[in-house]
Amino acid sequence: MPGNARYDGMADWYDDRFRDYGSGRGTAGLAATHLGAGHGRPLIDVGCGTGLNFNEVQRQGWSIVGVDLSADQLRIARRRCDSVHRADGCAILVADDSFDMAVATFIHTHVDDFPECCGS
């Protein structure tokens, strides 16, 4: 699998250190507010880490699929959502109509080449 899972071996520290981001007052709450009601529609969280966004976004009614390169991060994310997959967010292939929404928070420090990854 291409890419570098920079947070392998740090998932417990990461989840504890950034736990507040997953609250309604944190980044997760802000994202959920901007997303609005999901009504069961599918959403992909690219670079989901430990799934800190999951609870607030699911509370808005979105059906989440999390993707991250770090198996260690996904170990914790799986406790918050059954549908998580290990994959390089810059290389995942999904059909155009697979998801109604995509989110990616705090991945900017993990993408070495934005133009190559994002196609711009």
CATH of residue 94: 3.40.50.150
**4 within some domain:** no
Q: Give the count of beta carbons closer than 10 Å to the beta carbon of residue 88.
A: 17
Provide mean pLDDT across the span 52-58. Answer: 96
**2 within some domain:** no
**99 within some domain:** yes
Q: Model-level pTM?
A: 0.85
Residues 6+ apart with CB under 8 A from 40: 61, 62, 63
CA distance to 37, 102, 115, per residue, from 90 (Å): 27, 13, 10
Task: Work out the percent of the chain whose per-residue pLDDT is above 70.
Answer: 86
**35 within some domain:** yes
Task: Work out the percent of the chain whose per-residue pLDDT is above 90.
Answer: 68
Instruction: State phi, psi for 101 to the nearest 5 degrees.
Output: -150, 150
Any idea what DSSP says for residue 22? G
Residues 6+ apart with CB under 8 A from 14: 7, 49, 50, 73
Q: Which domain range does residue 32 map to?
A: 11-118
**106 within some domain:** yes
Please determine, for residue 47, whether its predicted confidence score (pLDDT) is greater than 80.
yes
Please determine, for residue 62, whether its predicted confidence score (pLDDT) is greater than 50.
yes
Domain total in the chain: 1
Instruction: State phi, psi for 10 to the nearest 5 degrees.
Output: -125, 10
**46 within some domain:** yes
